Amino acid sequence: MKRHFFLNAAIILLAVALFCSCESKPKGAMLLPEDAQVVACIDVEKTMEASELGGDRQFKEKMKNGIKQMGFSRIMEKQITDIVEDPSTTGIDFKEPFFYAVLDINRMLFAFTGSLNDSEKFESLLRTTMTEMSGDSALKTTVTDPNVKFAHIDRDAFILFDNDGFIICNKNYDEDEAGFVEYMAKQFSEEKNYSQTKGYDMLMNENGIAKMHIACGKILTSQNMKKKSLNTLPAETRKKIDLFYESDMIMALNVSKGEASYVCTFDPGTDEAKKYYDKMCESAGEIKGTFLKYIDKDALMAAAMNFDGKKYIELQDEQINNMLGLISMLNAEEIKELIKTINGDFTIGINSKLLGNNKVPEMKIYGSTDNSMLVESIAETNSNDMVKNGDRWIIKLTESEYTNVNGSYDWIEKEIGQATLGYKDNTSYFTISEKESDAFKASDNAIDKSDFKGNKFYMRLNFAPMLKMKEVEEMLGSMSEGEIVRDVIKEINYAEMTVENNYNAEIRLVMNDKDHTPIAIAIDIFKELLL
């Protein structure tokens, strides 16, 4: 019952929040400790705008009808219905953002915080909820602060609140319950808190309906991380990791009509860390688009990057030696020489066509290499399966089927395609196709270079070819909610991931419908399901 209650309550709370506006000054951040390792917040005002629900009266009525079907008691049903009609009955201040935090990733400690504008209403809601869950609505007062009340709401979960805010948190199963509650109670009066940190400033200065701050340095310096992970590394490697003890990462979700984007920004923290980080990234160059003319525009997936193998070995020589030294069956020096041959664009294209029952996809892979060493090494490793044909190595792809004749099973193998590995004009390549194909024949409908060129990494996933795949249709047909998934896929044009420089990466989802936001489209599709 508890699991269902929390799920239903979460859906209702989110829906209610969508009808509320947001101010910029968050109180919830002050309830988090300054050493919080991961913090996320949601901007309710922007989420509301993106939902395009506005004052949708019909939606509210459908919500209330859905609540009647959830099996709540009469009192609880009225309480929730009142909340849908008037969110202020919760006592929660929806004008300020909510915060979700990982307090300690090693101890699996989490917290959810928010602001209150009427603690009496909030307490009444809490008592009604507790009665519904367990029949016990008793609240206790903390020793640390008599103004802070708390309740045990699940096995290892607690809720604490005062006149201005609340914390929902969990303790590790083996931690002292009383000590943990009092530790969290201190956050209500603690002068040093998350809102005074550099990470908080970075988080709140970033645009987005939902944002996340990862305090990389705090995770690296955590006691368990040092003991269990970092101490096993060579001393020189640990020194380099130590440079990033003040590093942070910010991620932000933005939506607009026709698309959504997820942006990630990395801050090394210090000038010394930035200098070292920039140097380590020198092996990743800008995509030139050398092989894109061979990749179809309607390919299921296409990706490209530019890589300088010699530079990589030069910069990472120590780490490479440490890593390869663990692989006793391989020659570390030989692998390093193979990596050095890579010098330029590396490109892959995968089509939606799958070959045979083994579901081998048609694909093309190209890499700029100084010589044929990489291809020859792969061919040598698979010498039993490959046949040399000029400057190429051929593998006949087969699939096996069973036939039952007079109670005995026979194998039938038939060719389903061909894999080709070769080297030509400083290009190492690998293709899989139904029939023998020319790897260097330009596509009649080649992918647009402009999206790729100049970036350090680019990947594009087209969704239209996905629905044309027999295998996808079969999978959706076997799912109870396959029709809904199909409707979602139909709405998406493509997704792309772009790494522009050493510090910024972006994932972008582009919809076919340019008049509505992805959130509004999703709500429209899932509205009936949720209610």
pLDDT band at 236; cut points 50, 70, 90:
confident
In this predicted structure, the answer to whether residue 241 has a pLDDT above a threshold of 90 is no
Are the C-beta atoms of 309 and 368 separated by less than 8 Å? Answer: no
Q: Which residues touch 98 (CB under 8 Å, ≥6 apart)? A: 17, 28, 41, 42, 44, 112, 113, 114
Mean pLDDT of 142-149: 90
DSSP string, 278-340: HHHTTTEE----TTGGGSBTT-SEEEEEEEEHHHHHHHHHHHHHHHHTT-TTS-HHHHHHHHH
pLDDT band at 329; cut points 50, 70, 90:
very low
Q: Per mean pLDDT, which range of 123-137, 455-469, 498-512 is the poorest? A: 123-137
Percent of the chain exceeding pLDDT 70 equals 84
Token pair of 4 as six digits: 């269902």
Return the amino acid letter for 442: A
pLDDT recorded at residue 391: 81
In this predicted structure, the answer to whether residue 59 has a pLDDT above a threshold of 70 is no
Residue with tokens 């201190």: 186
Are the C-beta atoms of 50 and 255 separated by less than 8 Å? Answer: yes
CA separation for the pair 26, 17 (Å, rounded):
15
Who wins on pLDDT, 156 or 101?
Answer: 101
Mean pLDDT estimate for the chain? 83
Are the C-beta atoms of 387 and 404 separated by less than 8 Å? Answer: no
pLDDT recorded at residue 55: 61
For the chain, the domains span 2-196
H/E run at residue 151: strand 149-152
pLDDT band at 362; cut points 50, 70, 90:
very high
In this predicted structure, the answer to whether residue 18 has a pLDDT above a threshold of 60 is no
CA separation for the pair 351, 296 (Å, rounded):
8
pLDDT recorded at residue 527: 67
pLDDT in tens, 181-206: 998 999 998 889 999 999 999 999 99
CA separation for the pair 46, 40 (Å, rounded):
15
Mean pLDDT of 118-127: 89
Mean pLDDT of 234-240: 78
Best mean pLDDT range from 187-196, 327-336, 356-365:
187-196
Are the C-beta atoms of 462 and 299 separated by less than 8 Å? Answer: yes
Mean pLDDT of 210-225: 85
Are the C-beta atoms of 416 and 354 separated by less than 8 Å? Answer: no
The pTM is what?
Answer: 0.81
In this predicted structure, the answer to whether residue 510 has a pLDDT above a threshold of 90 is yes
pLDDT recorded at residue 137: 72
Are the C-beta atoms of 393 and 386 separated by less than 8 Å? Answer: yes
Who wins on pLDDT, 266 or 524?
Answer: 266
Q: What is the dihedral of CA 365, 367, 373, 377, to 10 degrees?
A: -30
In this predicted structure, the answer to whether residue 15 has a pLDDT above a threshold of 70 is no
Percent of the chain exceeding pLDDT 90 equals 43
pLDDT in tens, 448-504: 999 999 999 999 999 988 888 888 877 877 777 777 888 888 899 999 999 999 999
pLDDT recorded at residue 225: 65
pLDDT band at 252; cut points 50, 70, 90:
very high
Mean pLDDT of 259-282: 94
375-392 burial: b if 16+ Cβ within 10 Å, else e: beebbeeeeeebeeeeeb
H/E run at residue 212: strand 210-214
Query: Where does residue 41 rank: exposed (0-12), middle (13-18), buried (19+ CB within 10 A)?
Result: buried
In this predicted structure, the answer to whether residue 45 has a pLDDT above a threshold of 80 is no
pLDDT band at 335; cut points 50, 70, 90:
confident
Q: How far is CA 93 from CA 20, 301, 413, 505, in A?
A: 9, 45, 67, 34
H/E run at residue 49: helix 44-51
pLDDT recorded at residue 470: 80
In this predicted structure, the answer to whether residue 242 has a pLDDT above a threshold of 80 is yes
pLDDT in tens, 385-432: 788 888 888 888 888 777 766 666 777 778 888 899 999 999 999 999
Who wins on pLDDT, 526 or 515?
Answer: 515
Q: Per mean pLDDT, which range of 125-129, 150-154, 322-326 is the poorest? A: 322-326
CA separation for the pair 217, 82 (Å, rounded):
45
**Degrees (nearest 5) of the Cα angle 129, 132, 134?**
105
In whole angstroms, how large is the CA radius of gyration of the chain? Answer: 28
Q: For the packed helices 57-68 and 2-17, what is the interaxial angle rounded to 10 degrees? A: 170
H/E run at residue 114: strand 109-115
Q: How many residues does the chain have?
A: 531
Mean pLDDT of 131-151: 83
Token pair of 64 as six digits: 């209330």
Are the C-beta atoms of 315 and 361 separated by less than 8 Å? Answer: no
Task: Name the residue among 153, 190, 148 with its Cα closest to residue 165.
Answer: 148
Who wins on pLDDT, 5 or 449?
Answer: 449
In this predicted structure, the answer to whether residue 86 has a pLDDT above a threshold of 60 is yes
